[in-house]
Amino acid sequence: MLRELIARIKHSLAQRQAARVAVRAREAEVLQAIEHVVDEINPKLRAVSNYRKKLRQAVERALAHSTEIAASLPGPIEVNKSLWSSDPMLRAFFTGIEDMRQVLSDNREVHDYFAADGSGQSHCYALLNMERSERTVLGVEGSGNIIKRDVLQTSVSFKDRQVVEPDASESHLREDLEQRAFEVLVEYVLEHITGLIADRHSLNEQKLLLDMQLRLKQVKQASLSPLLEGGHKAGGLEALQQQQQHTRQAFEQASARLTTLDDYIDRITEVLGHPEQYFRVNPVSMCLSPMNIKHDGKTTTPGNELTLSEYLLGEEIRRILLIIRFSRDELVAKERLF
């Protein structure tokens, strides 16, 4: 009984110690991330009182979201020529074994990884990055004993397939992708702030030009020109004044969003505090035939259920991402490629 009690006490102490170490590590990670954001956006932010405290919640939210993104990546799935004919996912992604080998090989980083590996590592983990595309085609469809021709069908294809970030372990690859996910969010902060600055400069130039045009119009109205032209003409003076007023208001609004260093902090927290608006994952489930025709639930043609993850960056970029594992034997010789 005494031994069991001592063992439980030691185990409890070890758990508490591990928890304290984890807390300190997490704290160091958050502080490092805050300083990294400040370095990338504007180092002058360190002059703001309690800048770490003001940024902390948003940075923690962005870090947590980056961890979720990396953890959500499907895989690893094994990619090799012996599995292509039996694995529905590989058959959907690649038209054949040679196509698969070409995609795996079409990156110098992969070849350099194996060439630089002094430990004799025979396999690597990597990220497969693709664009999913759907188009309507005319095809043949079977329903019982009836064959229908010229049936509208949806064909699914995977384009722009890239194998990137070769790594020796899945865990290390996910850690690297987690960091890259965070960098994506920092990139959106920079784009957001850069856009505001560009808008402000553009509006300021418009405002100056309109001021000059309005002064010219007013001087012209008071000069001899209207008399020589056959009478006083308003000549769009009122419209020009309205345009000037609207431009001035837009300029003031744009300037108000990025005037002080505290405004920079507000813009940072707008993005990092809501990371799911800029980088998110959308589960995609579909049933595909061996010819990558999407089932509509009516056809009797055999199909396979695929569950994929599509990652959305902003409003424009949509990519299918998953982790794969393959051996150097699957590669096409480097000399044949480059």
**Would you say 104 and 90 are in contact if contact means Cβ atoms under 8 Å apart?**
no
Question: Taking the domains of the chain in order of start, what are their residue ranges?
Answer: 16-72, 186-275
DSSP state of 257: T
Buried b / exposed e over 35-48, threshold 16 CB at 10 Å, is: bebbeebbeebeeb
The half-sphere exposure of 76 on its side-chain side, counting CA atoms within 13 A, is 20
pLDDT of residue 30: 93
**How would residue 240 be classed by pLDDT, with cut points 50, 70 and 90?**
low
Q: Once rounded to an integer, what is the mean pLDDT over residues 36-45?
A: 94
Helix (H/G/I), strand (E/B), else coil: 152? strand
Q: What is the pLDDT of residue 144?
A: 60
Rounded Cα distance between 319 and 158, Å, is 10
Residue type, 131: E
Average pLDDT for residues 182-202, to the nearest whole number?
87
Give pLDDT, residue 154. 85
Q: What digits encode the pLDDT tens for the residues 298-321? A: 556 678 899 999 999 887 889 999
Question: Is residue 98 predicted with pLDDT exceeding 60?
Answer: yes
> Structure pTM?
0.78
Nearest alpha carbon to residue 325 among 129, 130, 175, 128: 128
Measured between alpha carbons, how far is 74 from 69 in angstroms, rounded to an integer?
10
Stretch among 199-213, 228-242, 257-271 having the lowest mean pLDDT: 228-242
The average confidence (pLDDT) of the chain is: 83
Q: What is the pLDDT of residues 285-301, one digit of tens each?
A: 999 988 888 887 655 66
Is the pLDDT score of 133 beyond 80? yes
* Contacts of 282-286 spanning 24+ positions with Cβ under 8 A: 282/309, 282/310, 282/311, 282/312, 283/307, 283/308, 283/309, 283/310, 284/132, 284/308, 284/309, 284/310, 284/320, 286/156
Higher pLDDT, 85 or 152: 85
Query: CA 130 from chain center: how many Å?
Result: 13
Could you tell me which residue, 54 or 21, shows the higher pLDDT?
54
Helices 261-272/170-222 angle, 10° precision: 130
| Spatial separation of the C-alpha atoms in residues 85 and 77, rounded to whole Å | 15
Give the pair of three-digit tokens for residue 194. 């850069």
**128 near 104, Cβ under 8 Å?**
no
Q: Residues 174-196: what's their mean pLDDT?
A: 92
Position with higher pLDDT, 20 vs 180:
180
Greater confidence (25 vs 272) lies with 272
Mean pLDDT (whole number) for 184-199: 88
Q: Which helix (H) or strand (E) holds 246?
A: helix 237-256
Element (DSSP H or E) covering residue 150: strand 146-167
What is the torsion angle, in degrees rounded to the nearest 10, for the CA atoms of residue 135, residue 136, residue 142 and residue 146? Answer: 180
Cβ 318 vs Cβ 310: under 8 Å: yes
Distance CA 306, CA 34 (A): 39
Over range 113-125, report the average pLDDT: 79
Which structure tokens are listed for 337?
A: 């490629």
Written as one string, the DSSP assignment of 39-74 is HHH-GGGGGSTTHHHHHHHHHHHHHHHHHHHHHH--
pLDDT at residue 90 is higher than 70: yes
Least confident stretch, 119-123, 225-229, 269-273: 225-229
pLDDT band at residue 38 under the 50/70/90 scheme:
very high
